[in-house]
């Protein structure tokens, strides 16, 4: 079988690349050894956010009296929560499968024999171009191993049959904070240990500090500057080890063909081409920004560069929103240094209406030009609001242009216009 493009990995990068390549007229083969949708659909974005939504409904029901609604004590049916999560994942997986019409899909392991040939499910495949989009996996340090019972990964915690009474989270990054927020809402006693001076290392310091304060109000124990080796694991029912993710590039045969790697990640140029001219790579396996929407972007760029070599595009869009579905939500985009305009959700009518006033919006602009160059949000619907500011940065808008825009009232989005009013600049 001969193809113009063979893609290994049907996660967000590989799937979007396959769809785009088909649109551009290429004969495409897509290979996935596990399940279509990759980490995002099966072990990441979708299942975690589905569980988080159930936790949000539970918390809202618990405080329904605040809104003048009296209900009997709400109860958690964790198995039904898990069933709902599995159903949504399955529905989305079926939808993705349907979209692959016109693309040959192999649900099997790929072995790369040469830059132009692979072996899949006992069949030899010849290809003009190859795209590697094999994603990432949880980091497992040599001193602390997953055992699937006491010490589990972010993959395994998604399939628990019952809610743990106590949970130690090793690693206070995005994954750790999301799961900490989730299980705390479900009644688990959560403790987070983070080796760095703040949770959410690399995130805006003020945002990270605010989340830590909120977590402590909720009864989540947060210990920064703490090595997990100093913690007695026997004090907890479970320990979630989530100190990051690493590129998934083993067992492909990359060594045999001499493709260059750096600490397991695939080295690519600005056009996503690897050290072998007809092989490209996209998504987490390149070790760059490990976000599903960035992987999708890379996948589309790679497909376009393969199909249209006379018009190569650089995968250089740095306006990448980063979203965290903690409670409260957090989102950021662009730079975090410059002139700061800030608005606290305490001043938002809609935030008070929905009873979610914790948090603030920070909008960063260039001191000289007034152009918006970054934003950070912690508070209600932060993951939705950041889209407005991402578009503002992408469109090179200035603070004055947001000031001149009429936002509907009462909405959370009008907090953005409030933040940029002159009297809020600091």
Domains of the chain: 2-138+246-311 (3.50.50.60), 151-243 (3.50.50.60), 328-424 (3.30.390.30)
Tokens of residue 312, six digits: 């190569």
Rounded to whole angstroms, the Cα distance separating 126 from 255 reads: 19
Rounded to whole angstroms, the Cα distance separating 22 from 111 reads: 23
> In the structure, what pLDDT confidence band is assigned to residue 349 with cuts at 50, 70 and 90?
very high
Angle, helices 12-23 vs 292-307, to 10°: value is 30
Amino acid 253: pLDDT: 87
List pLDDT tens digits, range 299-340. 999 999 999 999 999 999 989 999 999 999 999 999 988 999
Average pLDDT score over residue span 240-269: 94
Instruction: Tell me the pTM.
Output: 0.95
**Strand ranges (E), 187-321:** 189-193, 221-223, 238-241, 245-247, 261-262, 265-266, 279-281
Q: Is 424 a catalytic residue?
A: no
Rounded to whole angstroms, the Cα distance separating 64 from 357 reads: 16
Residue 101 Cα to chain centre, angstroms: 27
Residue 11 in contact with residue 137, Cβ under 8 Å? no
Q: What percent of the chain has pLDDT over 70?
A: 99
Rounded to whole angstroms, the Cα distance separating 191 from 236 reads: 9
Average pLDDT score over residue span 4-18: 98
SS3 333: strand
Task: Output the DSSP codes for 1-53.
Answer: -EEEEEEE--SHHHHHHHHHHHHTT--EEEE-SS-TTHHHHHHSHHHHHHHHH
Rounded to whole angstroms, the Cα distance separating 342 from 423 reads: 10
Q: Does residue 271 register a pLDDT over 90?
A: yes
Rounded to whole angstroms, the Cα distance separating 12 from 289 reads: 13
Rounded to whole angstroms, the Cα distance separating 224 from 194 reads: 5
Neighbours of 219 (CB within 10 A): 10
Rounded to whole angstroms, the Cα distance separating 258 from 252 reads: 12
Catalytic hit among 65, 271, 409, 424: 409
List pLDDT tens digits, range 130-149. 999 999 999 999 889 999 99
Amino acid 367: pLDDT: 93
> In the structure, what pLDDT confidence band is assigned to residue 422 with cuts at 50, 70 and 90?
low
Tokens of residue 101, six digits: 């019409």
Rounded to whole angstroms, the Cα distance separating 126 from 112 reads: 10
Residue 303 in contact with residue 319, Cβ under 8 Å? no
List pLDDT tens digits, range 391-408. 999 999 999 999 999 999
Name the nearest CA neighbour of 377 among 366, 369, 388: 388
Amino acid 255: pLDDT: 87
Tell me the Ramachandran region of residue 285: left when phi exceeds 0, alpha when psi lies from -120 to 50, beta otherwise.
alpha
Kindly provide the b/e burial profile for residues 53-69, where b requires at least 16 CB atoms within 10 angstroms of the residue's own CB: bbbeebebeeeeeeeee
């Amino acid at each position: 079988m001969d193809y113009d493009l063979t893609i290994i990995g049907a996660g967000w990068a590989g799937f979007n690349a396959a769809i785009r390549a088909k649109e551009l007229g290429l004969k495409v083969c897509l290979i996935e050894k596990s399940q279509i949708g990759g980490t995002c659909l099966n072990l990441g974005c979708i299942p975690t956010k589905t569980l988080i939504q159930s936790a949000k409904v539970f918390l809202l029901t618990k405080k329904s009296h605040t809104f003048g609604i009296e209900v009997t004590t709400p109860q958690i049916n964790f198995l039904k929560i898990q069933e709902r999560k599995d159903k949504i994942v399955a529905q989305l997986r079926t939808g993705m499968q349907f979209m692959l019409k016109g693309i040959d899909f192999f649900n099997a392991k790929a072995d790369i024999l040469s830059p132009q040939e692979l072996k899949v499910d006992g069949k030899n495949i010849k290809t003009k171009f190859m795209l590697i989009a094999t994603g990432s996996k949880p980091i497992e340090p040599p001193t602390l191993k997953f055992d699937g019972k006491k010490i589990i990964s972010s993959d395994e915690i998604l399939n628990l049959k019952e809610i743990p009474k106590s949970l130690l989270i090793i690693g206070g990054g995005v994954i750790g904070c999301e799961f900490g927020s989730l299980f705390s809402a479900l009644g688990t006693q959560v403790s987070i240990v983070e080796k760095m001076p703040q949770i959410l290392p690399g995130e805006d310091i003020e945002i990270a500090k605010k989340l830590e304060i909120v977590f402590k109000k909720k009864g989540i124990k947060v210990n920064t500057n703490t090595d997990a080796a100093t913690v007695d694991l026997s004090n907890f029912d479970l320990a979630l080890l989530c100190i990051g993710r690493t590129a998934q590039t083993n067992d492909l045969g990359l060594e045999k063909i001499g493709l260059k790697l750096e600490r397991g990640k695939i080295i690519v140029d600005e056009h996503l081409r690897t050290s072998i001219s007809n092989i490209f790579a996209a998504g987490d396996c390149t070790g760059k920004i490990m976000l599903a929407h960035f992987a999708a972007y890379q996948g589309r760029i790679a497909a376009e560069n393969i199909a249209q070599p006379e018009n190569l595009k650089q995968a250089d869009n740095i306006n990448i929103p980063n979203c965290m579905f903690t409670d409260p939500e957090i989102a950021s985009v662009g730079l975090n240094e410059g002139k700061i305009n800030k608005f606290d959700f305490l001043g938002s009518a809609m935030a008070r209406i929905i009873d979610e006033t914790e948090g603030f919006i920070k909008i960063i602009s260039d001191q000289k030009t007034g152009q918006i160059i970054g934003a950070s949000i912690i508070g209600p619907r932060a993951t939705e609001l950041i889209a407005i500011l991402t578009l503002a940065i992408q469109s090179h808008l200035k603070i004055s242009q947001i000031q001149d825009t009429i936002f509907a009232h009462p909405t959370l989005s009008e907090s953005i216009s409030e933040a940029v009013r002159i009297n809020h600049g600091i």
